[in-house]
Amino acid sequence: MCGIFFSLTAAENPVLLDRDLRYLLTKRGPDEGSYSIGVRGAGLNLFNHEGNGRMWLSFASTVLSMRGDDVVRQPLTDSGRTGSILAWNGDAWKIDGQPIPEKNDTEIVFNHLLQATTQDYLAEDYTGVSNPVQRVADAISKITGPFAFVFYDAVNFRLYFGRDCLGRRSLLWGLDAAGNLTICSLSDASSPSSFQEVEADGIYMIEFQDDQSADPEPAPAAGPLCFDVKNIQRIPWSHEALPKYHMISPIPPMNKAIPEGTPSQLTVTSSVLRELEDRLRQSLALRIQNVREPPLAGGSNVKIAVLFSGGLDCTLLARLAHDILPPGETIDLLNVAFENPRVVAAAAKGLGQRSSAYEGCPDRITGRAAFAELQRVCPSRNWRFVAVDIPYVVTITHRDTIKRLMRPHNTEMDLSIACALYFAARGQGTAIDSQRPDARPFQYKTPARVLLSGLGADELFAGYSRHGIAFSRNGYRGLINEIELDVSRLGKRNLGRDNRVIAHWGREARFPYLDEDFVAWVVRTPVWEKCGFGVPGAPIDAGIDSEKKTLRLLALKLGLENVSREKKRAIQFGSRTAKMEKGKTKGTDALD
């Protein structure tokens, strides 16, 4: 996980990081930071100004090193050859289908892009595309994994920036009052509307004028030097080749087949269940094997933690992680609960449960129940349940920071979800170990830098109540359309916001359900093999919902009988971050 900052200006001096933004970026990447001033000499044709002169490209990066033996300073600069620059925030698990060795992927990605921008591709034995823009697009298409980047191709005077096709890393862009362009992992301190997320619908390109003869001193201004956003070109993700620049999406079109008659019964021995398990294990293994020892572990044997509500998706990941990780590694289960003053007041009046403000939270109840089930099914593993209890006064203290991090998202629902993820990712609370059940709970903060998240399972396997409504209204056709809509807007709705609040603690969320190969398999799978709508049940299915039925059957197969029957619950209601002060607010209401 890294923090990226880039600015483009035609002013006399470069635009650099301010103190506030630099502090927040170093929270994302505390290992090491490197700052550099970029390029000059290109013309001012990108700005609303006539004449030639100097243009500044400024890069800054902060680094959270997760792979390899050494910390690689960023931004990377090919100073001895091309002068190209890369700021990279991502995990490239594969390139062109080939797994990357367990070393730092930033250097591998940089060399991959440099090859695409130089004449190496035009050697006698090369028979591919000769256009350097399409070569870069092809190179990005071949990277499997979450990423956001800014890349300056100094050979061809072009700047590229963007996110992966699912939008699993944050990247924003905006213009300041002077018309200078900024691209960054976080928004600046101005109004929420000044920055917007870089859409995950392609990568973006700015083409500079090749003007090596330009006067090194700026020409007299003929008007304000304002960047024109019309100069930003989009190179789209596509399912097929396009006449102009394009990238081939790793996610194929949705399988829209409709069953003829009644589909066959889903069981724990169904072939689709075996393939689901194999593919989910492969995705998870990529994300939890060979994780670097946390630098401040203090002798702890914890490398992996789970954002743990006790629900189906996260508990299934924890169960599979047990089979993959060495037996001596403890797995932390981070379970967050909030003191909600409205709920506490209702309880005081006898209108609600009279339990602890935290232990009465729905996610705390299901979390402890799932913790007990993991102990029963996997007794050889030390599971550490971390009860992250957040008093109301602490929520208020951190609220402005959370609102700042989640920008440009700015609704009550965004804040409720962001609060839960922010404090869960902090990973600080009262812990108990499964192999020491009689020991007293102890104060604890997880050293794990890798946090597993079950995000994506609901969208892929029809886990929301609206999926059932769509099926009841329009059958399989309506259900397929609803799933397709959910998958298409993953990057826009959730992932950038979630990345910004989780990464603030120097931790990286990884999403096994959103591995490109896994997602591609799921969207190709017929809808009746992903969920149980319209599919006859079996006696063993008693209490198992149609939503995400294939995942529920996998949990049942792996011994998680109670978890397989857990109902879906939104994080803001399970942790009680929703409607803390007012009961009549709507999730879509804008924040003050």
Residue 482 is predicted with a pLDDT of 97
Catalytic residue among 2, 184, 314, 531: 2
Residue 220 is predicted with a pLDDT of 40
> Containing H/E element for 8?
strand 2-9
Whether 2 is a known active-site residue: answer yes
Residue 129 is predicted with a pLDDT of 60
Which amino acid, 551? L
Band (pLDDT 50/70/90 cuts) for residue 215 is: very low
Fold annotation for 2-248: Glutamine Phosphoribosylpyrophosphate, subunit 1, domain 1 (3.60.20)
Residue 353 has pLDDT above 60, yes or no: no
Segments making up each domain of the chain, as ranges? 2-248, 271-575
The answer to whether 2-248 and 271-575 have equal CATH topology is: no
- Tell if the pTM clears 0.85, that is, is over it: yes
Three-state SS for 68? coil
Residue 48 has pLDDT above 90, yes or no: no
Residue 342 is predicted with a pLDDT of 84
Residue 70 is predicted with a pLDDT of 72
Three-state SS for 386? strand
* Mean pLDDT estimate for the chain: 87
Residue 423 is predicted with a pLDDT of 97
Residue 125 has pLDDT above 70, yes or no: no
The model's pLDDT over 550-560, given as tens digits with 9 standing for 90+, comes to 999 999 999 99
β-sheet bridge partners, residue 196: 173
List the single range of 207-221, 231-245, 334-348, 499-513 with lowest mean pLDDT: 207-221
Are 336 and 424 spatial neighbours (Cβ–Cβ below 8 Å)? Answer: yes
Per-residue HEC secondary structure of 301-348 comes to: CEEEEEECCCCHHHHHHHHHHHHHCCCCCEEEEEEEEECCHHHHHHHH
Residue 81 is predicted with a pLDDT of 86
User: What's the burial of 565, exposed, middle or buried (CB within 10 Å: 0-12/13-18/19+)?
Assistant: middle
List the single range of 3-12, 206-215, 412-421 with lowest mean pLDDT: 206-215
Residue 503 has pLDDT above 70, yes or no: yes
Average pLDDT on 55-80 reads: 82
Fold annotation for 271-575: Rossmann fold (3.40.50)
CA-wise closest residue to 201 among 157, 146, 255, 164 = 164
Average pLDDT on 246-251 reads: 94
pLDDT higher at 120 or 189: 189
Residue 100 is predicted with a pLDDT of 84
Looking at the chain, the whole-number percentage of residues with pLDDT higher than 70 is 86
Average pLDDT on 178-187 reads: 91
- Helix crossing, 392-406 with 412-426: angle to 10°? 110
Residue 192 is predicted with a pLDDT of 53
Three-state SS for 189? coil
pLDDT higher at 78 or 33: 78
pLDDT higher at 324 or 352: 324
| 228-232: long-range contacts, CB 8 A cutoff, minimum separation 24 | 228/46, 228/47, 228/48, 229/175, 231/46, 231/206, 231/207, 232/204, 232/205, 232/206
pLDDT higher at 469 or 535: 469
Residue 217 has pLDDT above 70, yes or no: no
Residue 51 has pLDDT above 90, yes or no: no
Are 31 and 71 spatial neighbours (Cβ–Cβ below 8 Å)? Answer: yes
Residue 212 is predicted with a pLDDT of 43
Peptide bond just before 75 cis, omega within 30 deg: yes
Residue 584 is predicted with a pLDDT of 66
Residue 582 has pLDDT above 80, yes or no: no
Residue 126 has pLDDT above 80, yes or no: no
Kindly state the DSSP code that residue 464 receives in the 8-state scheme: S
Residue 246 is predicted with a pLDDT of 94
Three-state SS for 458? helix
